[in-house]
Amino acid sequence: MYITTISFNLSEQLLKLFEGLGFCATRYSQLYNKNYNRKTSYIITIRGESMFNKFMKDIIPKNPKHIDKYKYFLNSQNL
């Protein structure tokens, strides 16, 4: 699971928030296509099956697309 932003301050706040909630979160930066004057983006990642399950149970995303993907993931685990 990851969240991308071009705001360093927002990435810092998200990282601290996730760590405060008990998530193992990592931040890294990436510069896309220097030829087009793109800004640096900051990616906050939460990795691993247990952290993914914790995120879905604690944060409870509302986007139906993400909920459906999580249901598909759970169903694929039962095969």
Print pLDDT tens along the chain (79 aa). Answer: 899 999 999 999 999 999 999 999 999 999 876 677 778 999 999 999 999 999 999 999 999 999 999 999 899 987 6
| Average per-residue pLDDT for the chain | 91
pLDDT tens track for 67-79? 999 999 899 987 6
pLDDT for the residue 17: 96
Residue 8 to residue 52: CA distance in whole angstroms: 23
Neighbours of 36 (CB within 10 A): 6
pLDDT for the residue 47: 92
Residue 21 to residue 37: CA distance in whole angstroms: 36
Bridge partners, 3 (sequence order): 44
Burial class (CB in 10 A: 0-12, 13-18, 19+), 75: exposed
- Set out the domains of the chain in order of their start, with CATH numbers: 2-77 (3.10.28)
Residue 1 to residue 56: CA distance in whole angstroms: 10
